[in-house]
A and B are shown apart, each in its own frame.
Chain A
Amino acid sequence: MAIRQRQQVLQLWLAEGALDTKVVAWAFYDGCGGDGPELPREKPPYSTGVDALLDGWCLLQAPQPPPHLRPGMEHETGGLQHQYVFERRIEQDV
C-alpha cells in the first residue's frame, strides 16, 4: 500500500497585524477531497492565528505591511487587511 500526501489550506483574516489577534474571516480548501480531517464551517475554526499553529497548521504566508499612504487616501478602506495562509499535509493510503 502506498502513501500519498495531500495539502489542506486554511486562510485566516485576523483583526490586526499580529498572529495572536482574533479571527474575523476564514476559508478552508481541502486537497483531501473530504477524506482528511475537517474543520467547522459555520464558526471560526480557531480564535486566533496562534491557535491554528498550536493545532499543527504551518504558516505559509503572512501579510505584507501596507504601502505608504498617499495623500488623501489615508482613510480609504478595502478588503480585509490581515490575511495569513496556513497549510497542513495529510498522508493518505492509496
Chain B
Amino acid sequence: MPAADHRLTTLEVARFVAEGYLRFDALVPREVNEGVIDELKRLTKVKFSQAVLVPPKVEIEGQPASGTPLSRCYPAPSVLGEVLRLPEVLGIIASLVGEDPLFDHDFVHVVPRRGGGLQHLHVDALVDTSAPAFDIQLFYFPVDVPENGGGTRFVPGSHLKRVRAEHVAAYEHIVGEQYFSGPAGTVMVFHQGLWHAGQPNGSDRERWMYKIRLNPRASQVRLWNTDDLADVQNDSSDHCFATMRFDSVAQVLRQMQPWQNGHEARADLVQRVRLWRYLSGDDRFDADYYLTRLEQRAALLDGEG
C-alpha cells in the first residue's frame, strides 16, 4: 500500500482477483487490539442470542443495521469503530468496494482454548450469480493466533467458482488449503465467495476473530491507487503460448493454486479475466487469448470483422 491514502496497488488488486484474499499482518496497533476485546465480548452476547432468535440481554449502542453506511457504524468512542476507521483499513476497503460501503452484517467468532469444533468448508452466501460485482469480508484477528490455534481454514483461488454454500462441505481437504496463524492485529480481506471453515483450537489461547461483510454501493471500477496501472495492464496479445510479459496483470492472474490443474484451470483463468475486465474497465483485457479469439469469431458472425 504505497499510496498516501493507503490504497492498494494494481498488482495487489490483481492478486486479490487471482487468489480471492489479501493478508495484512499486524495492521491494527497493539493498544487498539487490547482495547477491542471487551467490546467484542459484549457484541458476542448479542450476536449469539440473535443467532438462535432470542432477544439479547445486552444492548450495543450504535449497533448498525444492514444497509448502514460504514461511516455511521460503531461511532466513537467504540474501539471497534476505531479499527474500522483506521486509515490503513479504510484504504483497503476503498480500493475494493469504494468509500463508505454499506454494512451487511458482522459476527464475532470465538474459539475457546483447547476447544471448538471442526467446521465444514462453506461459502457465506447461499449462491452467487455470475455478475462480477462482489462484496468483501474483513477477518480481523485481535490476538495472536498460533499454529493449530483455531485459525480460519480457507482455499485460495476458490472464490470465483459458483457453488451452493453447503456443496463444498464434501471436501475434507484440498491441496493448497491454508490455516490462518499470525500476529495480533492481522486483517485479511476475503472476496465473498472464498471457501473457508472454522477450526478447533488446539492451543492454550482463546481465539478471537471479528468478521464484517461490506457491500459496494457504486461501481468498483479502478478504485485502487492506479499510478501503476498503465505500466502493468497488458494488451490482449499477452499469451503464454505466443509472446508474453512477465510483469503484467496477466502474469499475476495466471498463478494457479496447487489444486487448480490442467484444463479446468484455464476456465478458472477466464473467470479471473472477466473480473479484471470489470475492475479495470477494460473490456479488451485478456490473459492467454481465451476470450479474444472467441470474440473475434463472434464479430465475424455479426458482420463486424
Footprint of B on A, CB under 8 Å? 11, 13, 15-16, 21-28, 41-42, 44, 75-81, 83
Contact = CB atoms under 8 A, between A and B. Distances in A.
Contacts of B170: 11, 27, 79, 83
B290 to A, nearest CB: 8
28 contacts: A15-B262, A16-B262, A16-B264, A24-B175, A24-B260, A24-B261, A25-B172, A25-B173, A25-B174, A25-B259, A26-B171, A27-B170, A27-B171, A41-B172, A42-B173, A44-B173, A44-B175, A75-B267, A77-B162, A77-B268, A78-B162, A79-B163, A79-B168, A79-B170, A80-B174, A80-B259, A81-B264, A83-B170
Given A15-B262, A16-B262, A76 B162 contact: yes
A60 to B, nearest CB: 15
B175 A77 contact: no
Q: Dominant SS at the A interface? A: loop
A20 to B, nearest CB: 13
Of the four ranges (under 10, 10 to 19, 20 to 34, 35 or more), the interface on chain B belongs to 20 to 34
Nearest to B271: A77
Given A24-B258, A24-B259, A24-B261, A80 B267 contact: no
B162 to A, nearest CB: 5
A75 B172 contact: no
Interface string B154-183: 000000111100011011111100000000
Contacts, number: 68
Interface of B: 130, 160-163, 167-168, 170-175, 258-264, 267-268, 270-271, 274, 290
A16 B263 contact: yes
Contact of B264 (A28, A42, A77): A77
Q: Which 3 interchain pairs have the tightest Cβ spacing?
A: A15-B261, A27-B172, A24-B259
Nearest to A18: B262
B270 A75 contact: yes
B161 A78 contact: yes
Q: Which of B130, B160, B258 has the most CB of A within 10 A?
A: B130
Nearest to A28: B172
Contacts of B259: 24-25, 80
Contacts of A77: 160-162, 264, 267-268, 271
B167 A79 contact: yes
